[in-house]
Amino acid sequence: MTDASMSTDHAPAARVARVPRKAPVRISPTRRRLENLVLQVVLIGAFLLLWEYASDRWVPKLMVSKPSDIWTQIVRWLGDGTFARNLWVTIQATALGFLLGASAGMLLGFVTGAWRRVGEVLQPIVTAFYTLPRLALAPLFLMWFGLGMEFRVMFSATIVFFLVYYNTYFGVREVSSELISAVRIMGANQLQVALRVIIPSALVWVAAGLKISVPYALVGVVVAEMLASDEGMGYLLARGASQFSAAQSFAAIAGLLVVALIVDWLITRVTDRALRWKTAGVPQN
């Protein structure tokens, strides 16, 4: 093969290589969120339509009810105040249980993580209580606190405490010892090391623990209300199941779902704001 034919064969490849590539199309965050919202609405709508059609055709209505019947029950509860009254009781207990359990978990997690000797003494004790099933404490809490708000708050707080504690503990222990030593060499005292190094470094772990524990705070309150209570969304859920009314049970679940989504959104906003310094300067996709 001659040099002329070889240059002729490679000419198309050279021309193709010189064709400029198109820049990738970048979708704005607002448009992406809107598209995701539309897809979510379509999926939920399709599921509800399938549920409405399948009820009493493929599945007994007594077991799953119908979205239309559930909506009728929700409207009835909204009209007579049942929904608002019981929902407010559950929200109060969830907020108090979360605040109590999270505060105690962060405090003890920081102490046991920052001071190694304290951690060596207390960590096995905390682990022993963590392995204890929470439901085993329900009879004691009922005996100590009765059927009021205190029972729900304490039951929820015991669940939240361990989730926040372990995230805080491991977050503090993961702080670089070289960084702490460098700050101490520059003359920082124990309080300054805690405020300027340990707490900011462990904040990601703490935020993760808080976000994870929010649904469990609600779960703890609902379980307590189902076990022994005469008000709250857990009480409505248990009452509907005892009356074989799937519509009432699903209506209570719908209310709990709305509360869980709102609380999760609030916690996400708070934690994102607290961690804004960590993502500053990072380009958004």
The domain that holds 225 is classified in CATH as 1.10.3720.10
Of the listed ranges 146-150, 203-207, 220-224, the least confidently predicted one is 203-207
pLDDT at 185 over 80: no
In-domain check, residue 10: no
Largest CA distance in the chain: 100
- Say yes or no to pLDDT of 46 above 90: yes
In a domain, 6, yes or no: no
Query: Rounded to whole angstroms, how far apart are CA atoms 141 and 151?
Result: 6
- Residues 45 and 125 grouped into a single domain: no
pLDDT value at 10 more than 60? no
- Residue with the larger pLDDT of the pair 278 and 102: 102
pLDDT band for position 190 (cuts 50, 70, 90): low
One domain, residues 141 and 237: yes
Least confident piece of the model among 1-15, 62-76, 215-229: 1-15
Q: How many domains does the chain have?
A: 2
Q: Which residue has the higher pLDDT, 93 or 264?
A: 93
Residues 36 and 129 in one domain: no
Mean pLDDT of 233-260: 87
The percentage of the chain sitting over the pLDDT mark of 70, rounded to a whole number, equals 77
Task: Please tell me the predicted confidence (pLDDT) of residue 18.
Answer: 59
Q: State pLDDT tens for residues 206-227.
A: 878 888 888 888 888 998 888 8
Domain co-membership, 37 together with 148: no
Range of the structural domain that residue 221 is part of: 65-276
**pLDDT of 204 above 80:** no
Is 86 inside a domain boundary? yes
Mean pLDDT on 128-143: 83
- At residue 60's C-alpha, the angle toward residues 54 and 62, to 5°, is 120
Give yes or no for residue 262 having a pLDDT over 90. no
> Does residue 172 lie in a domain region?
yes
Whether residues 37 and 173 share a domain: the answer is: no
What integer best gives the mean pLDDT of the chain? 79
Shared domain check, 126 and 231? yes
Shared domain check, 106 and 45: no
Checking phi first, is residue 175 left (phi over 0); if not, alpha (psi -120 to 50) or beta? beta
Please check whether residues 48 and 165 belong to one and the same domain: no
132 and 271: one domain?
yes
Residues 6 or more apart whose CB falls under 8 angstroms from that of 114 comprise: 172, 194, 198
Under the banding of pLDDT at 50, 70 and 90, the label for residue 161 is very high
Instruction: For residues 57 and 114, state if they share a domain.
Output: no
19 phi/psi in degrees, rounded to 5: -70, 125
Residues 114 and 201 in one domain: yes
Greater confidence, 97 or 180?
Answer: 97
In a domain, 265, yes or no: yes
